[in-house]
Amino acid sequence: MRLNDLKNIFHEELDGLYGQEEVNNFFFILIEEFYKIHRIELALQPETSITKKEQEPIFKALDELKKEKPIQYILGKTEFFGLPFKVNSEVLIPRPETEELVALILDTVTSSAVKKSLKILDIGTGSGCIAISLAKNLPISKVYAIDVSTEALKVARENARLNNVEVVFIEVDILSISNTALDESKFDVIVSNPPYVRQQEKQEIKNNVLKNEPHLALFVRDDDSLQFYKAIVQFGLKNLTKKGLLFFEINEYLGAEMVKLLRESNFNIVELRKDMFGKDRMIKATGYI
């Protein structure tokens, strides 16, 4: 079968779900992954064909895309902050907004003229994307990461090995973290991208996310939407160094509530930041009183 004929099949089957441009992206990602053929190569050699046996993986991927399975889960991998990461249905797929959070942390901690070893904690690490990216870019720092999910931590540990960094992973629930090994630790930086999507916002979530990504890492109750942030703030008050930094990715609708929470918790400087789409998505708190 000619690859261009296969591309037409992809459009016939998927355009109604994803749109033409997205389907094009899927197709070229898959032919590069399965056949090491780049978009430009197919343009220059439009008669390029594959055998019936070679068609099996791409038709399997087509079937999974029709079921709205994310392409990152189909391939079992993605890229975050220029680094490779393995992903499966036990962890959220890392997103560009979270890359912005990592960039904010790096910009903040490296703006000082004196670079020193930092002690960093990532709460709710999932795939490990935040912790591993920080460890890669701050190689003299000590990075810790926690998660409540055993399976997520398996993925995170594999990603740390893949990226050749050292991160201390610990299985613990931030909602019941007292009396653990971390309880008396002091950190220069605490960061978290915890669950923050309210049940009332489910209708805004695309099916490929809703049907596939772990709800444990996505959703919170409507009547206690800041549950994880409150717990992390309290942990931070006890476990941040005096000039320590607290960073969050947040629900775009709850920026004001987050600023209020942090100010009422005696953080001296609170900065709400917008992401590339102009949404309130990041917050930085410094210097609690």
Q: What is the pLDDT of residue 179?
A: 53
Predicted confidence (pLDDT) per residue in 33-71, tens digit: 999 999 999 999 999 999 999 999 999 999 999 999 999
Contacts of 43 (CB under 8 A, 6+ apart): none
Predicted confidence (pLDDT) per residue in 222-243, tens digit: 888 899 999 999 999 989 998 8
In terms of pLDDT, which residue wins out, 258 or 223? 258
Q: What is the pLDDT of residue 181?
A: 61
Q: What is the pLDDT of residue 210?
A: 82
Name beta bridge partners: 189. 120, 245
Predicted confidence (pLDDT) per residue in 90-146, tens digit: 999 999 999 999 999 999 998 664 567 899 999 999 999 999 999 999 999 999 999
Does pLDDT of 80 surpass 90? yes
Does pLDDT of 161 surpass 80? yes
Cα distances (angstroms) measured from residue 223 to each of 35, 148, 226: 50, 22, 9
Give the domain ranges of the chain.
3-67, 88-288
Q: Following DSSP, what letter does each residue of 105-143 receive, concatenated?
A: HHHHHHSSSS----EEEEES-TTSHHHHHHHHHSTTSEE
Contact call for residues 273 and 104 (beta carbons, < 8 A):
yes
Query: What distance in Å separates the CA atoms of residue 122 and residue 167, rounded to the nearest whole number?
Result: 10
Residue type, 53: K
Q: What is the pLDDT of residue 176?
A: 84
Query: What distance in Å separates the CA atoms of residue 50 and residue 33, rounded to the nearest whole number?
Result: 14
CATH superfamily, with its number, for domain 88-288: Vaccinia Virus protein VP39 (3.40.50.150)
Note every long-range contact of 53-62, with CB atoms under 8 Å and residues 24 or more positions apart, other chains counting: 55/1, 55/6, 58/6, 58/30, 58/31, 58/34, 61/30, 62/9, 62/10, 62/13, 62/14
**Phi (first) and psi of residue 41, to 5 degrees:** -65, -40
**Phi (first) and psi of residue 224, to 5 degrees:** -150, 55
